Chains A and B, each alone.
Chain A
Amino acid sequence: MSILKQKIEELQSRKAKAMIGGGEKAIAKQKEAGKQTARERIDALLDKDSFLEYDLFIQHEAREFGMLGKDLPADGVIIGTGKINGKAIAIFAQDFTVAGGSLGFMHAKKITKIMDVALNNRIPLIGINDSGGARIQEGVGALAGYGEIFYRNTISSGVIPQLSVILGPCAGGAVYSPALTDFVFVVEGVSKMFITGPDVIKTVLGEEISQEDLGGARVHSEITGNAHFCAKTEDECFNQIRTLLDYIPQNNNKESLTKTEVNQPVGKTKIASIVPDNPKIPYDVRDVIKAVTDGSDFFEVQEYFAPNIVIGYGRINGETIGFIANQPDSLAGVLDCDSADKSARFIRFCDSFNIPLVTFEDLPGYLPGVDQEHMGVIRHGAKILYAYSEATVPRITIILRKAYGGGYIAMNSRHLQADFVFAWPLAEIAVMGAEGAANVIFRKDIADAENPVEARAQKIQEYKDKFANPYVSAAKGFVDAVIEPHETRKYLIHALEICKNKKVERPNKKHGNPPF
């Protein structure tokens, strides 16, 4: 046998040993929990045979608490590069079968290595999280590892898309890496995210709650808004990732935006019939979005969180667009703390990555109430104003029906320097609803009238006739054109083309200070 052949055999046997991970017993346990192994997940997610692994032979350097000489294959995390939809990505996947996927110093070094590869080469980073948390035996070395990861998440933010996939526990400090990334994917029954788990909560507060009710997939998709996509199975989750990566660019260079072939909308294309004439009747605004997108495709983000605003991606004339739309079918489409947070972060992602924004507006205003005020609707609501004003991508607004008060200003109005604002003939653009306005303006006239009820009704009608239309705004140039519903796609295509080389200069600054 030649020396080379011997050496190759040695390599192969070393590889085989490391690739087994935590061994058969641990793998069987992983399967019992309904989870795939780290390597199976990478294979299922990436294009076939496109993955290359690095740092397979990494060894931890811990000595205390019986760690000396303990073999942890690949130190419990797999890193590498590969392709999804034919485009390059960098990925790490924690291996729960090795010491519970616990994060030690070398484990973290592998993750930061692949994060550097992603950033330096301007390719998306995907992190599959499945870890019991810090490797306690390594003490502060583990904490150092988390800090190094958080720093890189922050520096990469707005340069490359960062996706976190929670396929197991992700607890304690570990949750902050996903929180710093752009998109978090969860799977029902598999994902568990919390800062302090049920045991600590029981000890400190005496409250009993299950892991699922505390930080399961539904909780983070509906209540906290920490997750952006929720799937029933790991494979469905991987499909969502592939779809998202199909819409978003590789990095923040304009050249990395891709164009697909143009398809006409196929869904309910009779756009005028979707929106009821009576402004009090709700409808699903997603049907309006699908009536203007190529192939009527719309990929919704954070579907279950703050459903009173709809955000997501679609294409117009082959190019990716970020849609923001008030949803009259949920809380009448009001703006509140959560919907402002949700849309502001989406707008900032799109602006970072050169994705144009289209806004469909139909809202009664901000949600009134003591709880909203005390939750800080002032600072939360300000985020959406900041995000729109700051964005330099093309920004187009279609006012479908109601545009009232502060909500009108917030939803990418002309005053926040929208590029184009179009309104349907049904649009009502006013400082407040006719009922409220009549009570204020005509308080005395109504009180002094012989029949106050009749007088009030008359004054309301008077106000409606005067202001509940798009023409007052059109007369001031706040609306660029009043358009027929069926012309919406045509106007959008035209406006987006006009804005193609949009260039706005901002005053030189280190960065702004948004109301986080």
Chain B
Amino acid sequence: MIKNPKHIKSFLPGTIVEVKTAVGNTVKKGDVLIIFDAMKMHNRIVAATDGKVKSVNVQQNDTVPKDFLMVELE
């Protein structure tokens, strides 16, 4: 299925290393929103599209399951 570019989800279970955005921020496609530790890597989770941050559902050191909605854009 076509992914919703406004829903930024975890691709695996992992740990939030850093949240680099906040509700209300305007982001551009490619901006790093979250640093996400999974598969031995601090993965840069980037915005798939331009938009405004509607919700941030994680904070530093949270562990999240796969497909967890970490950030939602408006």
Chain B nearest Cβ from A230, distance in angstroms: 16
Residues of chain B contacted by A280 (CB below 8 angstroms): 37, 40-42
Are the C-beta atoms of A331 and B11 separated by less than 8 Å? yes
Known: A331-B11, A368-B12, A369-B12. Contact between A223 and B2, CB under 8 A?
A: yes
Known: A213-B2, A223-B2. Contact between A332 and B66, CB under 8 A?
A: no
Complex CA gap A328/B41 in Å reads: 8
Complex CA gap A404/B41 in Å reads: 13
Residues of chain B contacted by A328 (CB below 8 angstroms): 41
Counting CB contacts under 8 A, is A290 at the interface? no
A433: contacting residue among B2, B11, B40, CB under 8 A: B40
Are the C-beta atoms of A334 and B43 separated by less than 8 Å? no
Chain A nearest Cβ from B47, distance in angstroms: 15
Known: A331-B11, A369-B66. Contact between A282 and B2, CB under 8 A?
A: no
Residues of chain B contacted by A225 (CB below 8 angstroms): none
Counting CB contacts under 8 A, is A281 at the interface? yes
- A312-333 vs B, CB cutoff 8 Å, 1 = contact: the mask equals 0000000000000000110111
Are the C-beta atoms of A329 and B44 separated by less than 8 Å? yes
Are the C-beta atoms of B41 and A282 separated by less than 8 Å? yes
Known: A331-B11, A368-B12, A369-B12. Contact between A282 and B40, CB under 8 A?
A: no
A364: contacting residue among B40, B42, B44, CB under 8 A: B40
Interface of A, secondary structure class, is: loop
* Chain A 199-230 residues near chain B, CB threshold 8 A: 213, 219, 223
Complex CA gap A281/B2 in Å reads: 29
Are the C-beta atoms of B39 and A331 separated by less than 8 Å? yes
Residue from B11, B12, B41 whose CB has the most chain A CB atoms within 10 Å: B41
Counting CB contacts under 8 A, is B58 at the interface? no
* Chain B 40-59 residues near chain A, CB threshold 8 A: 40-44
Counting CB contacts under 8 A, is B38 at the interface? yes
- A327-348 vs B, CB cutoff 8 Å, 1 = contact: the mask equals 0110111100000000000000
* Chain A 203-262 residues near chain B, CB threshold 8 A: 213, 219, 223
Chain B nearest Cβ from A435, distance in angstroms: 8
Are the C-beta atoms of B42 and A282 separated by less than 8 Å? yes
Counting CB contacts under 8 A, is A402 at the interface? yes
* Chain B 12-61 residues near chain A, CB threshold 8 A: 12, 37-44
Counting CB contacts under 8 A, is A279 at the interface? yes
Are the C-beta atoms of B40 and A279 separated by less than 8 Å? yes
Complex CA gap A394/B23 in Å reads: 52
- A341-375 vs B, CB cutoff 8 Å, 1 = contact: the mask equals 00000000000000000000000110111000000
Residues of A within 8 A of B (CB): 213, 219, 223, 279-282, 328-329, 331-334, 364-365, 367-369, 402, 404, 433
Residues of B within 8 A of A (CB): 2, 11-12, 37-44, 66
Contacts A365-B39, A368-B12, A404-B40 supplied; 9 other A-B pairs, CB < 8 Å = A213-B2, A279-B41, A280-B41, A280-B42, A282-B43, A328-B41, A364-B41, A369-B66, A433-B40
Question: 7 smallest A-B Cβ distances: which pairs?
Answer: A332-B41, A332-B39, A364-B40, A364-B39, A280-B42, A433-B40, A280-B41
